[in-house]
Structure 1
Amino acid sequence: MEAPWFIFTGMRNTVLTLCLLAFSISCSTKENATLIAFNTYCEMVANDAKPIALSEPISTEEMDERWDAFEEIAEKWNVSIYRETNFPVTQLFSAKVTVGKEVVAIYREPRLKQYEQLKTDLDKIEPMEAARRFGRLLGYSPQGINELLMKNTDFRTLDSFGVERQITHLYYENAEEAKRFYREVLGLKTTDSNRFIISEEAQLQINAFDDEHTSDQAKSTAIAFLTDQLPLWYDHVQAQEVPIKYTYKPREGGPHDGFVAIDPGGYLLEFEEFKQHPENELFMAYLEKAPRITTSIEDLNFYGSITWTYHHDLLKMQKFYEEVLGFQLVADQGWTKIYRTSPTGFIGLVDERRGMMDYADQKAVEIEWSLSDRKSSHVYFQQTSVWNGEKKALMGPEKYLYLLR
């Protein structure tokens, strides 16, 4: 028997009611989510976590419906808002995202003027610089900007090819003497006859002088051995009669402690321990996870290494490390900038005016990075101005050579 017509009618009405209710809840949920996100962006701008924040792109009709709510939230946080109907197109975001849409810029003065200046300059500057300038205005880190550029263009950083370890090459008149020092006095384990392990991903390679690295070259580098056993290492180094340049004088409340010894070739070796301090907070989080690598010296170990390099133009070097190499700044000491290049290997860029060594055009150090995708890195960097084909290396500012292996 067929069901009465009113049952079908009732069912249709019920289904229709449920569909309308679900649509209403969906719309309400979406609107609430938009307002919650907008409230968060306003809070971030109010607390200077972002210079400018942008709402999600929405249609003009949706913007009209929500504008009063946006103004009310902005007033609560004492920030200003600007309705953007002509969003600037840069390599930072896909142009498709904002086509036919509007966004709200959330700001405090003078950030709107900065934003307007960027829009005026878009046709006058290189696309990559425009994208980075926009990213900085939005409060993105250099790594965050790099990630967006890699997502939307063919841009790559060295770090994106997977840096597995850092090898610092040092040069000696008597390489055998240097090898004995690192093997017997410091107790470092080896991977082969001339490469020594400081930590899992930071190594030293001992080389004899050659045509490119001669006895008259300035060192222009120092090597930091990271350890939490400074008193023990200091006693050991003294017992081995290793020359000391700066003695061990621990300071309460400072960012780091250490002492400096001199190896057989005249390189400065800094035995160093970093401590919780505002300039080291991110660095300390990475160091906490670093495995302790034992040496042949009883109970003594290291867990990381910093290769210090010395520079005339620190800002230029920072830009290279962040925008070309893509490494993360983990400690900012003002006149030194420490970058994480491999899990336990670091480079410290030093202003030569305050560092232990002077800058030199020709220097007795080269830095090598082992990559998980070396072939692709070579293909990519061959198309750039920093590629040295003969060495299969990158030539950075101030004639620093970075070997890619």
Structure 2
Amino acid sequence: MKQFYWMAMALLLWITSCENGDTSEKLAGFEVFCEMVSSGAKPIALSHPMDSASADALWDAFEALARQYEVALYREDDFPQTALFPPSLTEGKTVILIYTRNRLTQYEQLKSDIRANSEKAPEAQEALARRFGRLLGYDTEGINGLLSKTIGHRTLASFGVLSQTTHLYYEDLEKAQNFYGNTLGLQSSDSLRFQISQDAYIELHPQDDAHPKDQPKSTAIALLTDQLPEWYALMQERGVPIKYTYKPKTGGAHDGFVAVDPEGYLLEFEMFKQHPENERLIATLSDAPEIHTGGGGLHFYGSITWTYHQDLLKMQQFYQEVLGFTLVADQGWTRIYQTAPYSYIGLVDECRGMEDFAESKAVELEWRIENSGAFDTYADENWGDYQYKGYAFYGPEHYRYVLPAGD
């Protein structure tokens, strides 16, 4: 079971053990949840569902544990039904809520909205279930997992993402090919698709009607490396324009410099360092293989494609709830998501990023997935809001995403 899933399934596991266990086992489970709420690990917690007589018999013991951990209890005899859990789990049962401060008010507001929206559209029901999940302390991945069991919700990531390719468009394709193949020395089998990490690629295309000359780039690409001084010297030696120079900082979250490719795409040579905002990202890169280039033994080991947005919160919701990608770094004005083992997308607030938001963009993003046929069937039925058609769709701010068919 994936790490994120344990908390989301804790209630179900507890029910199984308590149905066949004695009072001490039930109280031990209840104490675990009291400690989690007391320490802030969960906003609220739920006891195992029980019949009314069992709740009466255990109430004094529950209250003693609540006093020990300085938490409050609320007896719920009419548990609200959402898509988060199967109705049979709590129907006709008593559930004890464990909480602190104003969390009970938050729960009562949610319960009122659930009652008022019992006949609403599936989208509204899903939103309420997600709200309940957040109140229980589940992360988005855990909520996605529960909704997959109750209403068949699927994310792109649930179909298995194998690699990421960033598509770029050029007036002088030959010059771009020479830059990526010779100046940077990236590996390529066809001089069009160049490898950065084990599963991250850049693919070059001639400009076309959808991607004409002078179209805003609306992207930058981070090339992750632990050889910044060497890469900086090489780029200077080979006459590559530098937009932001290399100025390493002691104690910072990352170091790097920004170069400019032949037609204005920004390349951010970057190294993330152990820092509170990077801890999860650094862990995902811990075993990243080095992809060597023709640049004097230099290498990269990962890549982040940065995209630029007006509504960062809306994009974050799309990436987590619809695409199902894992948030691995939050820099305040950026959100970095792991899309494949060593490939990432970075969502950037345009007000602080290197590029501006634009309706039309000289970039497209591709993810290769394990079972594109199954995804196509699911997306045809469920992704109308994202203009899904023929293995391609659009996000909320007009970035186009494509998937190779037939894998």
Structure 1 and Structure 2 fold alike (TM over 0.5): yes
Counterpart-to-counterpart distance in 2, 1:322 and 1:98 = 28
Q: CA deviation at 1:61?
A: 2.0
Residue in 1 that maps onto 2:56: 64
Residue in 2 that maps onto 1:231: 229
Change (3 A) 1:43 1:208: same
Stretch moving more, 196-205 or 289-298: 289-298
Q: CA deviation at 1:105?
A: 0.4
Pick from 107, 110, 114 the counterpart of residue 106 of structure 2.
114
Deviations along 1:53-77, one digit per CA (max 9) or x if unpaired, are 1111122222122111100000011
Contact 1:178 1:264 in 2 (8 A): yes
Pick from 113, 136, 140 the counterpart of residue 138 of structure 2.
140
Quick one: which amino acid aligns to residue 347 of structure 1? Answer: I
Q: How does 1:149-160 map to 2 (within 5 A)?
A: 149-160=147-158
Quick one: which amino acid aligns to residue 106 of structure 1? Answer: I
Contact 1:49 1:139 in 2 (8 A): yes
Contact 1:394 1:404 in 2 (8 A): no
Contact 1:94 1:152 in 2 (8 A): yes
Counterpart-to-counterpart distance in 1, 2:131 and 2:206 = 45
Partner SS state of residue 397, structure 1: coil
Q: CA deviation at 1:240?
A: 0.9
Residue in 2 that maps onto 1:10: none
Stretch moving more, 248-257 or 59-68: 59-68
Equivalenced residue count is 380
Contact 1:310 1:357 in 2 (8 A): yes
Let me know the Cα RMSD of the aligned residues: 1.5
Contact 2:181 2:191 in 1 (8 A): no
Quick one: which amino acid aligns to residue 367 of structure 1? Answer: L
Partner SS state of residue 155, structure 1: coil
What is the percent sequence identity of the aligned residues?
Answer: 55
Counterpart-to-counterpart distance in 1, 2:80 and 2:47 = 14
Structure (1 or 2) with the larger CA radius of gyration? 1
Residue in 2 that maps onto 1:396: 395
Pick from 172, 175, 182 the counterpart of residue 173 of structure 2.
175
Deviations along 1:235-266, one digit per CA (max 9) or x if unpaired, are 11111110000000000010000000000111
Deviations along 1:264-312, one digit per CA (max 9) or x if unpaired, are 1110000000001111110010011211111122321111100000011
Pick from 62, 65, 84 the counterpart of residue 76 of structure 2.
84
Q: How does 1:337-376 map to 2 (within 5 A)?
A: 337-376=335-374
Quick one: which amino acid aligns to residue 104 of structure 1? Answer: I
Counterpart-to-counterpart distance in 2, 1:212 and 1:265 = 17
Partner SS state of residue 280, structure 1: helix
Quick one: which amino acid aligns to residue 246 of structure 1? Answer: Y
Contact 2:197 2:290 in 1 (8 A): yes
Counterpart-to-counterpart distance in 1, 2:359 and 2:165 = 21
Change (3 A) 1:231 1:106: same
Counterpart-to-counterpart distance in 2, 1:292 and 1:88 = 51
Residue in 2 that maps onto 1:54: 46
Pick from 181, 197, 203 the counterpart of residue 205 of structure 1.
203
Q: CA deviation at 1:389?
A: 4.7
Counterpart-to-counterpart distance in 2, 1:135 and 1:272 = 36
Residue in 2 that maps onto 1:325: 323
Contact 1:387 1:393 in 2 (8 A): no
Q: CA deviation at 1:102?
A: 1.3
Deviations along 1:333-363, one digit per CA (max 9) or x if unpaired, are 0000000111111000000000111111001
Q: CA deviation at 1:35?
A: 1.2
Counterpart-to-counterpart distance in 2, 1:216 and 1:169 = 16
Residue in 1 that maps onto 2:37: 45
Unaligned runs of 5+ in 1: 1-25
Counterpart-to-counterpart distance in 1, 2:162 and 2:255 = 28
Quick one: which amino acid aligns to residue 329 of structure 2? Answer: A
Partner SS state of residue 288, structure 1: coil
Pick from 259, 262, 286 the counterpart of residue 260 of structure 2.
262
Counterpart-to-counterpart distance in 2, 1:404 and 1:191 = 20
Change (3 A) 1:28 1:164: closer
Deviations along 1:108-141, one digit per CA (max 9) or x if unpaired, are 1211111111111013261101100100110111
